[in-house]
Amino acid sequence: MTPPWREALLSLGHNRPGTRFPAGRPNGLVLHSTATPGATAQQIRDDWQNNPWVEASAHLAVDDQEALLLIPALQAPARPAEIAWHAGYTANHRFLGMELCEFPEPARASAAYGRWLDVAGFLCAVWGWDSHLAVFSHRWCSETFHETDHTDPYPYFTHLGVTWEECLDGVRKAKLKWIEILTPSATPEVGA
């Protein structure tokens, strides 16, 4: 299985605590947008890596060209999923976090959004999450846990011309695609 991202792990320290999820695994995914127009996934990663006074991170950052894994997000024996600092204490200890890089150019914005949905669908397929029950916005975390005041990705969705329900439907479609890719075929190969 090859995940749809490139590893660019943050060093252990200020923005990557290296702490496993208290329940042993995350229970869902929080979708964010960066609020940094024009910044690429690599630039977001480098900003977090090089600015130790910024207490922020996410498991993945996604732009129009690539998705970067910044903090372990899968349940691998050698490197289990770790918490990140992305949506307040309660959400951080329950959910993975993924950033969508914002672009003013429509083509770049659309490409980044499509890749972001694809990676979210992959995570839902691998973890067995229902896209409508285990995928949340930062706004939802703010309104539910009252630990932050962020409303992303809703402001950026206005620029994209999409709704939260359309986003969840896109994650569901990507999840179904990944389930098909990841599930071994029951039909034997010709000549086998």
Q: What's the one-letter identity of residue 106? A: P
Residue by residue, pLDDT tens for the chain (192 residues) are 689 999 999 999 879 999 999 988 999 999 999 999 999 999 999 999 998 788 899 999 999 999 999 999 998 777 899 999 999 999 999 999 999 999 999 999 999 999 999 999 999 999 999 999 999 999 999 999 999 999 999 999 999 999 999 999 999 999 999 999 999 875 555 544
Every domain of the chain and the residues it spans: 6-182
The pLDDT value given to residue 59: 98
Tell me the CB-side half-sphere exposure of residue 76, using CA atoms within 13 A.
Answer: 8
Domain 6-182: which topology? Lysozyme-like (3.40.80)
CA gap 79, 184 in Å, rounded: 25
CA gap 126, 103 in Å, rounded: 28
SS (H, E, C) 21-82: CCCCCCCCEEEEECCCCCCCHHHHHHHHHHCCCCCCCCCEEECCCCEEECCCCCCCCCCCCE
The pLDDT value given to residue 53: 80
The pLDDT value given to residue 192: 46
The pLDDT value given to residue 75: 86
The pLDDT value given to residue 105: 97
Backbone angles phi, psi at 7, to 5 degrees: -75, 130
Question: What contacts 140, CB < 8 A, 6 or more positions away?
Answer: 30
pTM value? 0.93
Region for residue 9 given its phi and psi (left: phi exceeds 0; alpha: psi -120 to 50; beta: otherwise): beta
The pLDDT value given to residue 78: 76
The pLDDT value given to residue 188: 53
Cα-based distances in Å from 89 to 41, 71, 83, 154: 24, 17, 10, 21
